[in-house]
Chains A and B, each alone.
Chain A
Amino acid sequence: MDFISPINVVAVSLGAAFFMGLLGKKAQTVSYILLLGALLFNTIVSGQWLYGLATNIIDAQQVYTAGFRPPFSINLLMGLDEAVITTLVNIVGLLGAIYMASGLHKKGSGSQVVYLVLIMSLNVIVLSRDLFNIFVFLEVGSIATAGLIIMQKGINAVSAGFKYMLATGIIASIMLIGVIFIYRFTGTLNLDFVMQSHPVLKQGALISSFLILMAILLELKPFPANGWALDVYESAHPGISAMLSSAVATANLFVLYKFTGMAGESLMYYISLIGLVTFVGSNLLGINQTNARRMLGYSSIGQIGLLVAIIGLVPHSNANFKLIFIGILTGHYFAKAGLFWIAGIVKAQNIKEWSVLRNRPVLLFLFLTFVLALTGFPPFPSFWGKWQLVMGLSQQGQIAAVIAILVGSFFEVVYLLRWAGYSIKLEPGKLPEVKLSQFIPVILFGLGIYATGYFVSQATNFGDTINYIPLVVVAILLVVDFLPAYIKNSLSILATGWFAYLLIPGQDTLKLVFTVIFLVGGILTLIPGFHVKGKRAGFYPSAMLMFGGLALLIEAENMLQFFFAWEIMTLGSYFLIIRGKESMVHAFSYMLFSVGGAYLILLGFGMVSVGNTGLSLNLLSQIKFYPVLAMALLAVGFMTKTASLGLHIWLPGAHGEAESDVSPMVSAILLKAGVFGLVLLMLAAGGEYNNYQGLFYTLGWIGALTALVGNLGAVFQEDAKRLLAYSSIGQLGYILFAFSIMSQLGWLTGFTYTINHFMFKAILFLSVGGIVMRLGTHNMYEMGGLIKKMPFSFIAVLIGIITLAGIPPLSGFSGKWLFYNAVIMKGWYFQGAIIFFAGTIAFLYCFKLIYSIFLGQLKDNHRNVKELPFWYLLPQYILILGIMVFSAKPDLILKPLGTALAAAFPSNPLIWEGTKALSQLGYWDATTIMIVIGTMFVILLIWLMLMSRKAQNVKQFNIVYAGERPERPELTHVSHNIYAGYNKALGFLVAPGITGFWNYATNLVESIGNFTRRIYSGNGQSYAIHLVSYIVVVFIIYISSI
């Protein structure tokens, strides 16, 4: 097929523009169709070239104008890069025109002409190789933008337009001076010839090339000097700001990329510095924003800053520069255009009013897709871009840049996720009527972002090893979300079962334990879902997202797969947790900690990959670059998920407020993901004889203190689910401590605790969740005497707390016994004593839980409460069976585990004689103990039955009440602040010191943000002053460094 020469883009567009001018006012629709035709033509041309060049049917082609060779005339180059950029620009141009159909119609042919010329100018900027020509068409673009800004009526638009004109006027003149002097010193205006004459060598040319680059950088709105841009984003018509942030920014970025050829090494360094400062600065200021469009302005400036930094940091030579650039660019491009369009549809200024989106689930889904794409979550292109960027930069040893990027993107996550949280949870108002023409572009861009996400992932190295099956399952569930809950529930159970079927056979024992916990546990916690009537929209996709993430986590071989699975799991769990009634705040704090942790892990992986080739997970054992620091980073990253001391404040809220069948999923299963990470890390650290003794010693202390703080926190809780959440923190403290002992017994303890915690926490949370569902209240002092109404759940909770407290016959004791031996053999006596003390405290809140809910006086309004639904009891009794088996025959699991661990921890293993476990210190025979206690209990029961005559059942008020008559059940049930004495004694340990620290940190960041954003005083002239002073300052720094 013959390729249309790119010059026709200019010819056709201008022809159409002039013709529309001719049509004048009357023929609005004709000129609009002409506009769409021209834009379609442009898209086809660039699309055709992109296809041709990508599949290299044809190679890059120079287009000469005026019949002469380049130095004497202007030439256009259509290479692969240009084709990609022009296609992106034209697509958003076409869809933008469709989106602004009504706007453009009202304004008449004038605005349509300006819009068409803007798109044409962007094409020429990208294609043209002549300096002055680029300057001219940059000017055409800026004047066209100034024209389009006024499309929006009102004083804001006009003043923003004026500030825009002022700024671009100055920038244009600076560039003109640069161009003229470049011509004076190098003798040519054509870019390729200028580069051949190496402008850096001659002093004059150096300064003029600096001026040109400075102009382009200012065009890309660097941090202190971009007040004018923010006003434009805020006040212009959303369609136009979409154009600005996606099309214009992409073209300008490409121009900067073209010009960097003539910039010397030190200027590139300064460009990356400017980019980083912009990225971190504008995201920091974005935190305090409440106006949606202004916040989007900050975010797009931040993203463009990041892209500028990439152009500066990553040497264009190495292969994956293009991948990183395209990844993050497409991420920003699709998401920003989409968000601005949705802003146009929603028309709400304050971000709190965006919950209006809840009336239109598809629009809400698209909104969340774009927000998550911006924050760099997995399936989207910017995730791969950011991964490749961090890996590339850490390979070059630029760790400072990586840290800056991660800090900046963390700030961005803060305000974007808060916004997403508002839109999901706040009260929905009335959504203004959505026109079809506004809806199509948003949907197309939604699909586009998923498609590019897939393509970019295939392009990243090791990207093709990613298994996409779980995401396909989630997609199916999303599509089928209108079905009633029980169909979807069975579907997701089937899917989890299928994952389990794929993963479990042939898995090595260590991973098998986690696989069983994640997947079988997943099935069990999904079963209560059958009880729910109605649709339960949005629950099953997020549940499958979490379980899919967990499945991927297990089968991950290389770091990229691991990190991909980690983020998917975090995403899924976020959407699950936020479903609770007041869980918006808690889900937000959960997300911040997880994202912070994820970035630490990313930094850790970056440091691991230094000096190593490939990404396989067993690289963790050959870390060359600061091994202890890398290991510490990864450990802290995983510990945010296991809620260790200092990183635990999100857990009580997140698990306490979650829905009744979500909290078992999250606390019994999800916390184990962090443990899984730690296990992999410690195995890779070299098992027994590793050189990280200091690190694991501190981890041990952290584990011990977490156990103490967690259990103490639980004792004084009045809210049943919060009590269980705190107890999870305590139990996770145990697990962390056990694993950091780094001996076979230690690890056996760790695994026993993990399995036990999974079983009994699932039981406890399921039954308490069911009770909360039945009684409608979380507070324990409002419950009481439910044993008569819910005997089965009483038995389940009883077995749960017996295992939790580690009382002999049941499997909890196996953990305690192994723990004792491990601690004494390792020699960590004091931590062992603290953990034992925490263990006894565990017994306190176990009694409080079972007493205030089941025993004591039955309240009036609970007199005809029914037993927990069957679907809640079934998983509990399966788990009880599990506990019984594990307590009767612990060697079923511990023996294979022991052999598996022998490799990493050869010294003093656990020897098994039949069912009797012999360690160096003592011995323990679970089965005999079980039998002895069982028979003894039965004998004594018979003895009591024999001796006592026929015992007469009495009602609840026949109690020894000092001769008085008990008034009402509420007054005769003591459970509020039942450990008052204990609180007086040890209450000081529970003072919220750590939450205080985190509050202080957030306030500090917010106040800095608030203080620095004062520089945008709104005065156009001061913006111009910022601009010029920015040029002078950068010039002085640049010149002084040469």
Chain B
Amino acid sequence: METIALITSFVLILIGLYGILSQKNILKMIVGFSLFDTGLHVLIVTVGYIRGGTAPILDQVTGTSNVSDKIVDPIPQALVLTAIVIGLGVTALMLAYALKMYQEKQSLDIRDFKELKW
């Protein structure tokens, strides 16, 4: 089960990256970027998967004794929370940049912003 999830996450990451590198339009690059991030988050969660484990919430199902062999690994889920927020932050900032660049040059093609070179 987790191998399928892992493969999908890797594939998502690669597609996202391909999107970033090949698309000329900045907004499409940002979309590629968010794709890349979601792939990453799926990867993080799959890493924490334990066969036969349930959500790491202590309730009637898990009871309070030897919980460790019933639940899924909670740490990646905590980390993914932070990763998602970072992804959000970066995408928001990139959109702001895209907006500003459009205001400056009325074009969203990355190739038009080549003043700084050599």
* C-alpha gap A172/B76 in the complex (Å): 17
Instruction: Among B43, B98, B100, point to the contact of A180 (Cβ < 8 A).
Output: B43
Most buried by B among A160, A172, A189, A1013: A172
Indicate whether A1018 sits within 8 Å of B93 (C-beta atoms), given known contacts A155-B104, A169-B33, A1024-B21.
no
The answer to whether A1025 touches B104, judged by C-beta atoms less than 8 angstroms apart, is: no
Give A136 to B86 CA distance when docked, in angstroms: 8
Q: Which of A179, A1018, A1021 contacts B29 (CB 8 A)?
A: A1021
Complex CA–CA separation, A139 to B76 (angstroms):
18
Query: A interface, how many residues as a size bin?
Result: 35 or more
Binds B, one of A143-151, A542-550, A720-728, A861-869: A143-151
Interface string of B28-51 (1 = CB under 8 A from A): 010001001100100110010000
Nearest B residue to A288 via CB reads B118
Instruction: List chain A residues, Cβ under 8 A from B43.
Output: 177, 180
Known A-B contacts A150-B100, A177-B43; the reply to A155 vs B17 at CB < 8 A is no
Q: Enumerate A496-538 residues with CB–CB distance to B below 8 Å.
A: none
Query: Size range of the interface on B?
Result: 35 or more
- Does A1019 belong to the interface (CB within 8 Å)? yes
A160 near B116 (CB under 8 angstroms)? yes
Taking the closest CB of chain A, its distance from the CB of B2, in whole angstroms, is 11
CB of A799 to closest CB in B, whole Å: 58
Given A177-B43, A181-B47, verify A234-B20 contact (CB < 8 Å).
Answer: no
Q: Nearest chain-A residue to B118 (Cβ)?
A: A1013
- Mark contacts of B96-111 with chain A using CB atoms, 8 A cut-off: 1 yes-contact digit, 0 otherwise: 0110110011000011
- Chain A nearest CB from B31 CB (Å) reads 13
Check B82–A136 contact: CB distance below 8 A.
Answer: yes
A interface SS class? helix
Do A176 and B83 touch across chains, with their CB atoms under 8 A apart? Answer: yes
Give which listed residue, A132, A136, A156, A173, contacts B116 with CB less than 8 A.
A156
Q: Which residues of B contact A180 (CB under 8 A)?
A: 43-44, 47, 76, 79
Tell me whether A231 is interfacial, beta carbon within 8 Å: yes
Q: How far is the CA of A362 from the CA of B107 in the complex (A)?
A: 47
Of A162, A179, A181, the most chain B CB neighbours within 10 A belong to A162
- CB-based contact B116/A172 at 8 Å: no
**A155 engages B94 (CB within 8 Å):** no
- Cβ of A173 and Cβ of B101 under 8 Å apart? no
Is A990 an interface residue, CB under 8 A from the partner? no
Candidates A155, A230, A1028; contact of B21 at CB < 8 Å: A1028
Q: Is the CB of B47 within 8 A of A170?
A: no
The CA-CA distance from A1032 to B69 in the complex, in Å, is 39
Contact A172 B90 (CB under 8 A): yes
* A272 contacts the other chain (CB 8 A): no
Q: By the criterion CB–CB under 8 Å, are A1025 and B21 in contact?
A: yes
User: Is A471 located at the chain interface by the 8 A CB criterion?
Assistant: no
* Cβ of B96 to closest chain A Cβ, rounded Å: 9
Known A143-B93, A1016-B117; contact A172-B86, beta-carbon cutoff 8 A: yes
Q: How far is the CA of A529 from the CA of B110 in the complex (A)?
A: 63
Interface of B is mostly: helix
Q: Tell me, rounded to whole Å, the shortest Cβ–Cβ distance linking B87 to chain A.
A: 9
The answer to the question of A40 belonging to the interface, with a C-beta cut-off of 8 Å to chain B, is no
How close is B22's CB to chain A, nearest CB, in angstroms? 8
In the complex with contacts A139-B86, A162-B98, A180-B79, A1021-B93 CB distance below 8 A: no
Instruction: Indicate whether B72 reaches chain A with its CB closer than 8 angstroms.
Output: no
- Known contacts A136-B86, A1028-B17; A158/B79 CB under 8 A: no
- Nearest CB of chain B from residue A124's CB, rounded to whole Å: 14
Question: B17 contacts A1018, CB within 8 Å?
Answer: no
A1013 to B90, CA, bound (A): 30
A1014 on the B face (CB < 8 A)? yes
How many Å from the CB of A558 to the closest CB on chain B? 45
The verdict on A1017 contacting chain B, using a C-beta distance below 8 Å, is yes
Q: How far is the CB of A602 from chain B (nearest CB, A)?
A: 32
Cα–Cα distance between A786 and B89 once the two chains are bound (Å)? 83
B40 near A173 (CB under 8 angstroms)? yes
| B107 vs chain A, min Cβ distance (A) | 11
- CB-nearest residue of chain B to A1021: B110
A890 lies within 8 A of chain B by Cβ: no
The complex places the Cα of A156 from the Cα of B104 at a distance, in Å, of 10
Q: How far is it, in angstroms, between the C-alpha of A183 and the C-alpha of B36 when the chains are bound? A: 21
Q: What is the distance, in angstroms, from B30's C-beta to the closest C-beta of chain A?
A: 10
B75: interface (CB < 8 Å): yes
* Distance in angstroms between the alpha carbons of A159 and B102 in the assembled complex: 10
Please, how many angstroms separate the alpha-carbon atoms of A177 and B10 in the complex? 10
Which residues of chain A are within 8 angstroms of B17 by Cβ–Cβ distance? 170, 1028
Decide if A158 touches B104 in the complex (CB within 8 Å): yes
| A1019 B114 Cβ-Cβ under 8 A | yes
Q: Inside 8 A of A147's CB, which chain B residues have their CB? A: 93
| B111 nearest CB neighbor, chain A only | A1019
Out of B20, B75, B116, which one reaches A1018, CB within 8 Å? B116
Across the two chains, which residue of chain B brings its CB closest to A150? B100
Contacts of A158 in B (CB 8 A): 97, 100-101, 104
> Which chain A residues border B21 with CB–CB below 8 Å?
1021, 1024-1025, 1028
Scan A623-635; emit 1 where CB is below 8 A from any B CB, else 0: 0000000000000
A184 at the interface (CB under 8 A from B): yes
The reply to whether B116 and A234 contact each other, CB–CB distance below 8 Å, is yes
In the assembled complex, which residues on chain B have CB atoms less than 8 Å from the CB atom of A179? 79
**Residues in chain B near residue A162, CB distance under 8 A:** 26, 94, 97-98, 101, 113
Contacts of B116 in A (CB 8 A): 156, 159-160, 230-231, 234-235, 294, 1018
Contact pattern, A 111-151, Cβ under 8 Å of B = 1, otherwise 0: 00000000000000000000010001001000100110010
Known: A166-B29, A180-B47. A146 touches B117 (CB 8 A): no
* Chain B CB within 8 A of A165 CB: yes
* Cβ-closest chain A residue relative to B105: A155
What does the 1/0 interface line of B53-89 toward A look like (CB < 8 Å)? 0000000000000000000000110010011001001
Contact with B along A796-823 (1 / 0, CB 8 A): 0000000000000000000000000000
CB neighbours (8 Å) of B93 from chain A are 143, 146-147, 165
Chain A residue numbers with a CB within 8 Å of B76 are 180, 183
Q: List 30 A-B contacts (CB under 8 A).
A: A132-B82, A143-B90, A146-B93, A150-B97, A150-B100, A155-B104, A155-B105, A156-B115, A158-B101, A161-B97, A162-B94, A162-B98, A165-B90, A170-B20, A172-B90, A173-B13, A173-B36, A173-B40, A177-B43, A180-B44, A180-B76, A230-B116, A294-B116, A1016-B117, A1018-B114, A1019-B110, A1020-B110, A1021-B20, A1028-B17, A1028-B21
Given A143-B93, A179-B79, 15 other A-B residues pairs in contact with their CB atoms under 8 A? A159-B116, A165-B90, A165-B94, A166-B20, A169-B33, A172-B90, A176-B44, A177-B43, A1013-B118, A1014-B118, A1017-B114, A1018-B113, A1018-B116, A1019-B113, A1024-B21
- Which residues of A approach B to under 8 Å, CB–CB? 132, 136, 139, 143, 146-147, 150, 155-156, 158-162, 165-166, 169-170, 172-173, 176-177, 179-181, 183-184, 189, 230-231, 234-235, 288, 294, 1013-1014, 1016-1021, 1024-1025, 1028
By a beta-carbon cutoff of 8 Å, the part of chain B in contact with chain A is 13, 17, 20-21, 24, 26, 29, 33, 36-37, 40, 43-44, 47, 75-76, 79, 82-83, 86, 89-90, 93-94, 97-98, 100-101, 104-105, 110-111, 113-118
Interchain residue pairs A-B with the least CB separation, the first 5? A1018-B117, A1018-B114, A159-B113, A231-B116, A162-B97
